[in-house]
Structure 1
Amino acid sequence: MLSRLCSLALCSLALVPVAVPAHAGDMSSWSAPEGTAARLIAGGTQGEALLGGVEIRLPPGLKTYWRYPGDSGVPPHFDWSGSQNVEAVEVLWPAPARFDDGGSYSIGYKHDVVLPLRITPKDRAQPVELKLNLDFAVCGKICQPANAALDLALPPGGAGTPSAALAQALARVPRAAPLGEKGEPGIATAKLERSAETPSIRIIADVGNAATADLFVEGPNDDWALPLPVRETGPDGRTVFVLPVDGVPKGADIATAKLRFTLVDGDRAIQVDAPLSAH
């Protein structure tokens, strides 16, 4: 993982560990008084689950990474093992953006970002104590790994209502959609083409803004490292994304594997989990 981060050749290896005391209420304290920092925030409930978020503060011009960081970078790593009365914590990733790093591309976020959480308590009648050991990376011209230890106590039934920042982040989480769904944004087809010398994946999408829409493709697990697609205009005016078959783990069959397609079209985004169809 660290080799990806240091591929930009300028890398500080000093971690920045910051421990934050336990905090009860709608949010924890920031992990640092200024500059890059993180905190936990509470946000009410969603069905049987509690809502919350990890808010990361970034100085101007810096970025941090999505769950799949692209050609270079390190995704955030969440360790919830110290939490009390927690069955599971799911990170709900807002739609990311692609960044040109000069010869390579990364995927992530610039400016401050909130990563929403869906928290499942073991016992809904008891309070929850979230303890997070967060490893993440912050990059400008120089990349630096960072660490924050965060703690937030939630009463039974959750605390507060989603802040404006959390509500906006939740609205940016891609909507689950089936392959072939009509409308914008939508992914009409995702095909494996073996006719060329190098096999490729060709995705036809319907989007509202063809000049800025973007697509990210992930494999079934972290062993996959599929390249970022190139955007083209199809013969019928539809948007086409093409990527070579590369970064597939040894022994894996891309023809049968279920892939994840995240299509971002302005303020709208969808996520499609589906296998490819043969061409």
Structure 2
Amino acid sequence: MIIMVPRTPSRPAALFVLAAITTLLPIDVQAQDASAWQKASHAAVRLLAGSRSGPVLLGGIAVQLDPGWKTYWRTSGDSGVPPRFDFSKSDNVEAVTVLWPAPAKFDDGAGGFSLGYHDQVVLPLRIVPKSNDKPVTLRANINYAVCEKICIPVEASTELTFASVASTEDSVLFAALDTVPKPASVGDPNPLTIRDVKRDGKSTVLVDVLSPDARTVNLFVEGPTPDWGLPVPKLVEHGPAGVKRFTFQLDGIPPGTNPEGAALKLTLVGGDRSYEFNINLE
């Protein structure tokens, strides 16, 4: 790449140009509360920094997708590839936790369903510094896939320093937090809840859901470790009165594994409500 270096203007002219550029820059660029977009085929990602206050920092990974393209949730469903994140090259970072907004369900074109996001999404991050009185720079290496009729693997690397005491991205990050499923227990009196989970024979699990109206409800299930590949639960057409019954098979579990007592995570999504249930399979 050839970089053209212009003739250096006089000091007064340079100050005038700098002032003009600063005036025209968006607020988030001036405050450096967001990294530059890392663009790739049909998608772009960047980091967001929340206000620097308290022992745990709030950040985010923003993803933009071309119309018709999608990317995946932490569990991709019957097909697809979940994203992977590496924050190991960060400065003054003890731990990073990725939080996941409730996903949508897509027909994967092969008789199954994939789980993920379309258009745009912000994945909130909870960041624990090693020292609260030193600068924090988050460096992320991101491997993800974007899919339409075909899937394209994408890799991006980006970094961002958390410096603002009043970040311009706080409202975006708090809105993203609101889309993360809330923790719940079976039988909780929420407007949308799981009433019961039970086995039907050795390999079938039934989940009864209470929903306040006829809205579309989806249920997703994850095993205790990533090598569990449980299928996306299906809605039973003629379930018990007053409930939505979902069923899934204990397929895709590691060979030789006894599912008795296994810790499962159930994510229930209906409209703008979503809840996460941790259960032990009986």
Above 0.5 in TM-score?
A: yes
Q: Deviations over 1:17-66 (max 9, x none)?
A: xxxxxx97211011128941100001236853100100011011100000
- Whether contact under 8 Å (1:24, 1:154) holds in the other structure is no
Work out which of the residue numbers 213, 222, 228 in structure 1 matches 2:226. Answer: 222
Report the residue type matching 1:110 in the other structure: H
The alpha carbon displacement at 1:158 in A equals 6.0
1: CA distance, partners of 2:199 / 2:54: 39
Report the residue type matching 2:49 in the other structure: A
1:56 paired with 2:91, answer no
The alpha carbon displacement at 1:142 in A equals 2.0
Aligned equivalent of 2:43? 36
Work out which of the residue numbers 113, 116, 122 in structure 1 matches 2:130. Answer: 122
Report the residue type matching 2:85 in the other structure: F
Calculate the aligned-residue CA RMSD, in Å. 2.0
Aligned equivalent of 2:115? 107
Work out which of the residue numbers 134, 157, 179 in structure 2 matches 1:149. Answer: 157
Consecutive unaligned residues of structure 1, counting only runs of 5 or more, are 1-22
1: CA distance, partners of 2:139 / 2:272: 32
Structure 2 counterparts to residues 78-227 of structure 1, below 5 A:
78-102=85-109, 103-155=111-163, 160=167, 162-194=169-201, 199-227=203-231
Q: Which has the higher contact order (CA 8 A, sep 6+)?
A: 1
1: CA distance, partners of 2:83 / 2:153: 10
1: CA distance, partners of 2:51 / 2:280: 35
Report the residue type matching 2:225 in the other structure: N
Structure 2 counterparts to residues 246-261 of structure 1, below 5 A:
246-261=251-266
The alpha carbon displacement at 1:172 in A equals 0.6
Q: Which of the two has higher C-alpha Rg?
A: 2
2: CA distance, partners of 1:34 / 1:234: 43
The alpha carbon displacement at 1:179 in A equals 1.9
Q: Judging by fraction of residues, say which structure has more helix.
A: 2
Structure 1 residue matching 2:220: 3-state secondary structure: strand
Aligned equivalent of 1:274? 279
Structure 1 length as normaliser, TM-score?
Answer: 0.84
The alpha carbon displacement at 1:188 in A equals 1.3
Structure 2 residue matching 1:165: 3-state secondary structure: helix
Range that drifts further, 27-36 or 235-244: 27-36
Report the residue type matching 2:211 in the other structure: V
Structure 2 residue matching 1:138: 3-state secondary structure: strand
The alpha carbon displacement at 1:187 in A equals 1.1
1: CA distance, partners of 2:251 / 2:80: 18
